[in-house]
Structure 1
Amino acid sequence: MTEPGTVRPGGRTARVRAAVLEAAGDALAERGFPHLDLADVARRAGVGKTTVYRRWGTTTALVADLLADMAEQSLPRTETGSLLDDLRANAQLVRRTLADPRQGALFKAVIAAATCDERAAEALHRFYAIRVDEWAPCVEQAVARGELPEGTDPGEVIRAVSAPLYYRLLAGGQPLDEAAAERAAGAAAAAARAGAYAR
């Protein structure tokens, strides 16, 4: 048996799913996870309440499906042939996402949900695992080119790029500007070259 919100059929069902997930994202960005309500999401999406309750059942299942969709829709990695330029592209993508008024608020709401709900936390971990796996080949290629030491952990390098940007979003109170992204990429690249992420 599949969990609610995990089936991905096409046609009308796909359109309903897309509308509901967009409405859920809007509601989360506006009001946060504690105020997420399936009936409100159904109204925003223009679908029946019973459709939403039957398909997702709980707000946590809805958030989990929203995160799965966000991971699927995220842009693919950029490959430039240079570790620093690849990490810069990753940092700027993260920065643009988090600096966007809707997306930044949405990520804050989802992260807040993950601190108090185990299923939301699992969904958030899956989201980030997918994104790290998408960008890890940039680091693997840098190792193969001799830019980085053998045994460098690709996931750690990619996480090191986005960590300072998430800190700014959640706790820093400082702008998420292009300079912050450049510093994050440069610091991660320098640390990786120095062997900080070698296993």
Structure 2
Amino acid sequence: MTSKGAEVGTVRPGGRTARVRAAVLRATEDALVEQGFDGLDLGAVAQRAGVGKTTVYRRWGSATALVADLLVDMAEQSLPRADTGSLTEDLLANARLVRRTLADPRQGTLFRAVIAAASCDERTAEALRRFYQVRVREWAVCVEQAIQRGELPEDTDPDEVVRAVSAPLYYRLLASQQPLDEASADRAAHAAVAAAKAGVYARTR
């Protein structure tokens, strides 16, 4: 049962309920990788997860709710940010993590499916926005620390710097189909650092 006002599928449960959630989300991920969002069916997910169909319908109720909860789980499970004491090294770590994720056959396919779903469903789009807000804010601390060390102008927007690191990699994944190699990740990080030091990512007034 969810607390009053909570969105279905987003409450963090414990015990058996946690095991059911984990199994259903894994099955949801498998279905997205294999069939895409259009092939996501609650009954089929329940069968994959080995749980009752009524459990899935009662707890989540829709394919979009499943994807939203999967994105919550993905944000919770993401690796923590680097903390090397150097902006360049921190952002290189960020770029390489993004590249490894997107270049992975399973994870890259999963992200393409989720992004495709978000393009035509507002609930999924909002869940995806929340996912990236969590990840950007996690890594923005690296930029904030660089500002405090005097590496960057004081008016630098940390979130924009972090977005600038991953944007070229997502472009390769979704648009150009160019290889997602480590050189492209390193180039994105170095470009973001150079632009930030030049004041390109100053906060707008």
TM-score over 0.5 for the alignment?
yes
Give TM-score scaled by structure 2 length.
0.96
Q: Give distance in 2, aligned partners of 1:37 and 1:65.
A: 15
Q: Over aligned residue pairs, what C-alpha RMSD do you find?
A: 0.6
Matched, 1:97 2:101: yes
List per-residue Cα deviations over 1:74-126 (Å, max 9, x = no partner): 00000111111000000001001111111100000000011000000000000
TM-score by length of 1: 0.99
Paired residue for 2:171? Answer: 167
Q: Could you list the per-position Cα deviations for residues 126-148 of structure 1 after superposition, in whole angstroms to 9, with x for gaps in the alignment?
A: 00000001001100011111110
Aligned residues: 199
Match runs of 1:55-94 below 5 Å: 55-94=59-98
**C-alpha distance in 2 between matches for 1:39 and 1:92:** 37
2:113 aligned residue = 109
Gaps of 5+ in 2: none
Distance 1:63 1:48 in 2: 19
Equivalent-residue separation in structure 2 for 1:26 and 1:92 (angstroms): 24
Q: Which residue of 2 aligns with 1:41?
A: 45
Residue number in structure 1 paired with 2:194: 190
Q: Which runs of 4+ in 1 moved over 3 A?
A: none
Q: Which residue of 2 aligns with 1:149?
A: 153
Partner of 1:11: 15
Please give the secondary structure, in 1, of the residue aligned with 2:84: coil
Percent identity, aligned pairs only? 78
Match of 1:121 in 2: 125
Unaligned runs of 5+ in 1: none
